[in-house]
Structure 1
C-alpha cells in the first residue's frame, strides 16, 4: 500500500529534515568561559635592595615602582607616627609599631614623596626621628590597590581570601565577581553599633576576625570587601571620607572594560549606584538608603588606601 501525503505536509517534512541536517553540521553552541578565580595574592616585601633612613627607622623603597614602600621602626617610643605626603597633595598619617616592616601604599601615584617618622616626646608632642624624600615612578597606577597594606591586610592563608574565591567561583566577568562579593558582605555582616561607640583612634581591621564574627563597622566592611576583590585581581580602593557629616569608609573598583568606578557599584539603567556596603547592610537596602547611597553629593572622599 502506498501512502500518499498531501504536498504541503511533504514540503514540511523536507524542511524539517533540512533543518536537522543543518543544525547537526553546526559546531556546538559557544559558552562564555568562567573566570579563573584562583586567588591572586599581591604580597609586599622588604627586599633590602634599596633602603633609606637611619638607626631609628628604615624605609625600604625597593618596590616603590609597584606602588608601595615598607617602614620599620627600631626605636623605643611607644607612640610613633608615620606621615607620607606626595608633593602638592594629601598627607597620609599612620601609626607605627616597633620591630617589624609594615607596608604602606603610595596612593597618590608617581611623584616625589616626603616620608617622615615621628616619635612621641610627651603628651601630644612628637619629634622627627627620620625624614626622607623619595622619588617614585609607578609602573602601573593600579598596583597600589592590589597589594596588601596596613589598612587592607591579608596573605595567602587568609580565610577571607579563600572565601572571596569561593564566592567568585563560576563568575563570567569582573562585574559578576563584584556583584557577588558585594551581596555576600551586605547579607552576612551586621553593623556593630557597640564597636562603633567604643572604637579607638588607630584601630585597624582584622579581616578574618570580622568574617568569623560577622559584624563590624564601616572600616571593617570596606576592608573585607577590598581583600576579596583585590585577591580576585580587581584593583580596589578602600576610601575614607565623609558621608554627610559622618566619618565613613567605602570602596571603589577598577573594571577592565570600564575603568575606575569611583565610589559606585552598578548601573541601574539610568545612573551608577554607589558601592557602600555598610549603609546598604545596616539600612537593609531600603529605598531611602539606596537613594542616599546613589547620590554622590552625600560623599566626600579624603583618602584612598
Structure 2
C-alpha cells in the first residue's frame, strides 16, 4: 500500500477543513474525549500550629525555657510515582521454541503470544512470501527475511488469530503453504504496543532508542517524556518529498536512518516516534488509515498522567490520545492545524501496529 501523505505541507483540503474548524465557536475537540480538568492525585495540605511554651518545651524536652514559640508544620516532599526506565526499556522478542508449528517450508513460533507477538520464519525457495494474520481484521505482510524470524503483533487483543503463509505463483497470485490458528491470551493489554515488530523495528542500543533515552532524561513524568519526544520529531524531521514520490508498496521504515537523515514520509515520522516512546515503556500505536482523503500514518499514545502536550493534545489518564507528528511538523504548528489534529473525526483508522 502506498502512503498518500505527499508534499512537504499539509494538503489543501486538510488546511481548509482546519480553517473552518478554527472559525467555529468552541469548535476545538480533544482527540477522543471531552477536554476537561482533573485533579491528579491527592492535594497537599499545609498548616501552621501554634503551641504554648509549655507544650512546645515539653515536646522538645525544654520545660524551663519559659517563652511561647510558634512551630510550623513542614511536610516531607512527596515521592514521585513515575518510574523511568534506566536509559531505555526494550522488550526484545524471542523465538523460544516451546510452541512451534511448521511444515518444512515455514515455521511459526507462538511461544510468547501472551506478550503480544508471534515470530515467523520462511525456509522455502520462493522469493515473494506474504503472511496474513486475522482476527476481526485481516493484516497482510511481506515476509522479507529468509531463514530468520520476523516479528508480527497481535493488535486486536486476546482471542483466536488465523495465521496463513503464502508463496507467490505469478503476478499477484499466491498459493497458501501453511495455515494455523493460534489462541492468544495477553498478559498485558498494552504488550503489543510496547514491543518491536516488523513495522516498528528497534533494539537495545539502536540510535532511535538512545535518542529516546536522551530526550526522556530531563522529564519529570510521562507527559514530559511524550512532550520531549513529540517536539523533537516535529522540529527535527522534515518531509521527504523525493521518497514520497518514489515509495513502493511494501516499504518499511528504518527509524535509525530517518533519525540520521532528519527526513521521512508520514510512515517514518510515526514509526520513529513510536519506537522512541515504546523504548521508554510508554504504550504507543502506529496507526494507518485516512485523513483528509489521504492514506496517512499517525500515532496513538497512552499514559497514566493527566495533562496537555503543547496545549492542544489532552491526556485524561484513561484513554488513547491521537498525535500527528507529520501534520504538526509540516503545518508549522498553526492554530488551524492544531484544531484539525485535535478533532479525532478527521482521522479514520484502518490498521494498528
TM-score range, shorter chain: 0.7 to 0.9
Query: Which residue matches 1:13?
Result: none
- Quick one: distance in 2 between partners of 1:273 and 1:118? 36
Give the counterpart of 1:71 among 117, 120, 123: 120
Query: Which residue matches 2:140?
Result: 93
- Quick one: distance in 1 between partners of 2:221 and 2:150? 33
- Quick one: distance in 1 between partners of 2:106 and 2:264? 33
**Against the structure 1 CA distance between its residues 114 and 276, is the aligned structure 2 distance closer, same or farther, given a 3 Å change threshold?**
same
SS of 1:255's equivalent in the other structure is coil
Asked if the contact 2:289/2:348 (under 8 Å) is kept, the reply is yes
Give the counterpart of 1:193 among 231, 238, 241: 241
Segments of structure 1 that go 5 or more residues without pairing to the other structure are 1-16, 259-263
Query: Aligned-pair distance for 1:256?
Result: 2.4
SS of 1:248's equivalent in the other structure is strand
Give the counterpart of 1:171 among 208, 219, 241: 219
- Quick one: distance in 2 between partners of 1:113 and 1:28? 52
**Against the structure 1 CA distance between its residues 134 and 33, is the aligned structure 2 distance closer, same or farther, given a 3 Å change threshold?**
closer
Asked if the contact 1:266/1:274 (under 8 Å) is kept, the reply is no
- Quick one: distance in 1 between partners of 2:94 and 2:247? 30
Mapped pair 1:277 → 2:286: no
TM-score by length of 2: 0.74
* Structure of greater relative contact order (alpha carbons < 8 Å, 6+ residues apart): 2
Q: CA RMSD in A?
A: 2.2
Query: Aligned-pair distance for 1:83?
Result: 0.3
Asked if the contact 1:103/1:149 (under 8 Å) is kept, the reply is yes
TM-score by length of 1: 0.85
Q: How many residues align structurally?
A: 277
Query: Which residue matches 1:228?
Result: 276
Query: Aligned-pair distance for 1:99?
Result: 1.7
Query: Aligned-pair distance for 1:33?
Result: 7.5
- Quick one: distance in 2 between partners of 1:26 and 1:106? 51
Segments of structure 2 that go 5 or more residues without pairing to the other structure are 1-67, 307-311
**Against the structure 1 CA distance between its residues 282 and 76, is the aligned structure 2 distance closer, same or farther, given a 3 Å change threshold?**
same
Give the counterpart of 1:59 among 99, 108, 128: 108
Runs of at least 4 residues off by over 2 Å: 25-38, 264-268
Query: Which residue matches 1:4?
Result: none
Query: Aligned-pair distance for 1:239?
Result: 0.5
Query: Aligned-pair distance for 1:18?
Result: 5.6
